[in-house]
Homo-oligomer: A and B are copies of this chain.
Amino acid sequence: MRYEIRLSGMGGQGLLLAGIIVAEAAMAQGKNVVQTASYGPESRGGASRSEVIISEKAIDYPAVIEADYLLAMTQEATDKFFHEVKPHGIALLDSTWVKEIPAGNVESTYYFPLTETAIEKFEKAIFANIIGLGIICESSKIVEPDYLIAALLDRVPKRYKEMNQVAFETGIELFTNGKIPKGVAGQAVETV
């Protein structure tokens, strides 16, 4: 009934925007949602974290207790949060920045160069978060793609709408076509 998503990495990776888009899409689907961004001493070192709680019922505690879904876009975020994922949860790690997958029990760990793919396809690292959103959407099934696309297009500047939509659909396609390899906990994995 309660689903917890944690998006973590560093400033400039668009994690707050990604969280707001997921939150607004889930709300449009009629869910209760709390979106949170935390800025702390760690932020001064560049760390960034955004969380979304989605529930059919009223949300009493507005923070992630144990994530159902973790997106980690830096090694630091991975080391910090990988152990706070539910055993049956999912972790998506950006292999552009994450070189070591911690040992652990996370059932599904996906390991893919989000940032390199964004640079190759769009010449802009900033689209890595949106490719990630497509993968999250398809692998979690927690929010419907149409609602996510609508929320995304509502939040980005007009001149970037099309590129954002393509980035999102890229994530969906990569996942659907089995192009997102599973990472093996406790070791580094070669990326495709």
User: In the complex, which residues 55-82 of chain A have their Cβ closer than 8 Å to any Cβ of chain B?
Assistant: 58-59, 62-63
A20 touches B37 (CB 8 A): yes
Closest-CB distance, A16 to chain B (whole angstroms): 7
A26: chain B residues at CB < 8 Å are 39
CB distance from A45 to the nearest CB of B (A): 12
Task: Please indicate the chain B residues that have their CB under 8 angstroms from the CB of A34 in the complex.
Answer: 36-39
Q: How far is the CA of A190 from the CA of B38 in the complex (A)?
A: 40
State whether A30 touches B16 (Cβ < 8 A). Answer: no
Q: Is A176 an interface residue (CB 8 A)?
A: no
Among candidates B40, B58, B63, residue contacting A32 with C-beta atoms closer than 8 Å: B40
How many interface residues does A have (CB within 8 Å)? 24
- A164 — which chain B residues lie within 8 A by C-beta? none
Tell me which of A37, A40, A62, A157 has the highest count of chain B C-beta atoms within 10 A of its own C-beta. Answer: A37
Which residues of the partner chain B approach A30 to less than 8 Å between Cβ atoms? 44
List 12 A-B residue pairs with CB atoms under 8 Å apart, sorted by A's residue number.
A32-B39, A33-B38, A33-B39, A33-B40, A34-B38, A36-B36, A36-B37, A38-B59, A38-B62, A40-B59, A62-B62, A157-B157
Known: A34-B36, A35-B36. 19 other contacts (CB 8 A): A16-B20, A20-B37, A23-B37, A23-B39, A24-B39, A26-B39, A27-B43, A33-B39, A34-B37, A34-B39, A36-B36, A36-B37, A36-B62, A38-B59, A38-B62, A40-B58, A40-B59, A62-B62, A62-B63
